[in-house]
Structure 1
Amino acid sequence: MGRRKNKNRIVENVVILDAGAEGKCIARPEEADGRVVFITGVAPKDVVDVRVTKQRKSYWEATPVKFHSYSDERVEPFCKHFGVCGGCKWQHLSYENQLKYKQKQVKDNLERLAKVELPEIKPILASDETTFYRNKLEYTFSSRRWLTKEQISSGEDFDNRALGFHIPGRFDKIVDIDECYLQAEPSNTIRLEINKYARENDLEFYDVVNHTGLLRNLMIRSSQTTQDLMVMLQITAFNEKTESLLHFIKDSFPEITSLQYVINTKKNDTFHDLEVVCFDGKDYITETMEGLEFRIQAKSFYQTNSIQAYNLYKITRDFAGLTGNEVVYDLYTGTGTIANFVAKQAKQVIGVEYVEAAIEDAKVNSKLNGIENTLFYAGDMKDVLNEEFLEKHARPDVILTDPPRAGMHPDVIQMLLRIRAKHIVYVSCNPATQARDLQLLDEKYSVKAIQPVDMFPQTHHVENVVLLELK
Structure 2
Amino acid sequence: MKQRRNKILENIRLLSAGAKGVSVGKTEDGKTVLVKGAVPGDLVNVRVKKSKSNYFEGEAVDILEYSEYRVDAKCVHFGTCGGCKWQNIDYDKQLDFKHSEVVNNIRRIGGFPEFEEIPILGAPEQYYYRNKMEFSFSNARWLTQYEISSEENFGNRDALGFHIPGMWSKILDLKECFLQEDPSNQIRLAVKKYAVENGLEFYDVKEQQGFLRTLMLRQNSKGDWMVLFQLYKDMKAERIKLFDFILSQFPQITTLVYAINPKGNDSIYDLDIQNYFGEGFIYEEMDGLKFKIGPKSFFQTNYKQALELYRKTLEFADLTGDQVVYDLYTGTGTIAQYVARNAKHVIGIEAVQEAIDAAIEHAELNGLTNTTFYCGDMKNVFNDEFLENHPKADVLITDPPRDGMHQKVVEQILKLAPERIVYVSCNSATQARDIALMKDDYELVKILPVDMFPQTHHVENIALLIRK
Q: Which band: TM-score by shorter chain?
A: over 0.9
Length-normalised TM-score, structure 1: 0.95
1:139 aligned partner: 135
1:279 aligned onto 2:283: no
Partners of 2:233 and 2:54 lie apart in 1 by: 49
2:4–2:51: 8 Å Cα contact kept in structure 1?
Answer: no
The amino acid across from 2:105 in the alignment is N
Partner SS state of residue 413, structure 1 = helix
Range 37-46 or range 77-86, more displaced: 37-46
1:92 aligned onto 2:88: yes
Partners of 2:396 and 2:244 lie apart in 1 by: 48
The 3 A distance-change label for structure 1 pair 396 and 27 is same
The amino acid across from 1:211 in the alignment is Q
1:264 aligned onto 2:261: yes
1:241 aligned onto 2:224: no
- What is the Cα deviation at residue 227 of structure 1? 2.5
Q: Which of residues 24, 39, 43 in structure 1 aligns to 2:35?
A: 39
Range 382-391 or range 154-163, more displaced: 154-163
1:121–1:449: 8 Å Cα contact kept in structure 2?
Answer: yes
The amino acid across from 2:93 in the alignment is N
The equivalences for 1:66-465 within 5 A come to 66-158=62-154, 159-224=156-221, 226-239=222-235, 240-465=237-462
Range 144-153 or range 270-279, more displaced: 144-153
Q: Which of residues 21, 27, 45 in structure 1 aligns to 2:25?
A: 27
> Would you say how many aligned residue pairs link Structure 1 and Structure 2?
465
- What is the Cα deviation at residue 58 of structure 1? 4.4
Partners of 1:118 and 1:181 lie apart in 2 by: 39
- What is the Cα deviation at residue 144 of structure 1? 2.7
1:86–1:165: 8 Å Cα contact kept in structure 2?
Answer: no
Q: Which of residues 36, 42, 51 in structure 1 aligns to 2:47?
A: 51
Deviations 1:383-406 (A, max 9, x none): 111122223321211111000001
Partner SS state of residue 53, structure 1 = strand
1:343–1:373: 8 Å Cα contact kept in structure 2?
Answer: yes
Partners of 1:40 and 1:163 lie apart in 2 by: 27
- What is the Cα deviation at residue 35 of structure 1? 4.1
Partners of 1:55 and 1:211 lie apart in 2 by: 39
Partners of 1:385 and 1:188 lie apart in 2 by: 45
The amino acid across from 2:173 in the alignment is D
The amino acid across from 1:26 in the alignment is V
Partners of 2:27 and 2:113 lie apart in 1 by: 33
Partners of 1:396 and 1:43 lie apart in 2 by: 45
2:319–2:343: 8 Å Cα contact kept in structure 1?
Answer: yes
Range 372-381 or range 92-101, more displaced: 372-381
- What is the Cα deviation at residue 56 of structure 1? 4.1
The amino acid across from 1:375 in the alignment is T
The amino acid across from 2:138 in the alignment is S
The amino acid across from 1:48 in the alignment is V
1:117–1:447: 8 Å Cα contact kept in structure 2?
Answer: no
Partner SS state of residue 345, structure 1 = coil
Partners of 2:48 and 2:143 lie apart in 1 by: 24
Partners of 1:468 and 1:22 lie apart in 2 by: 26
2:14 aligned partner: 16
The 3 A distance-change label for structure 1 pair 352 and 130 is same
- What is the Cα deviation at residue 212 of structure 1? 1.9
Identity over aligned residues, as a percent? 51
Gaps of 5+ in 1: none
The amino acid across from 2:412 in the alignment is M
Partner SS state of residue 199, structure 1 = helix
The amino acid across from 1:281 in the alignment is G
1:214–1:237: 8 Å Cα contact kept in structure 2?
Answer: yes
1:166–1:173: 8 Å Cα contact kept in structure 2?
Answer: yes
The amino acid across from 1:84 in the alignment is T
* Cα RMSD after superposing both structures: 1.5
- What is the Cα deviation at residue 362 of structure 1? 0.9
- What is the Cα deviation at residue 12 of structure 1? 2.3
Deviations 1:116-140 (A, max 9, x none): 3431211001111111011111111
- What is the Cα deviation at residue 141 of structure 1? 1.3
Partners of 2:215 and 2:126 lie apart in 1 by: 24
1:117–1:446: 8 Å Cα contact kept in structure 2?
Answer: no
Deviations 1:150-204 (A, max 9, x none): 1222333333222111222222222111100000011110111111112222222
- What is the Cα deviation at residue 6 of structure 1? 4.1
- What is the Cα deviation at residue 11 of structure 1? 2.4
The amino acid across from 2:282 in the alignment is I
Partners of 1:37 and 1:330 lie apart in 2 by: 40
Gaps of 5+ in 2: none
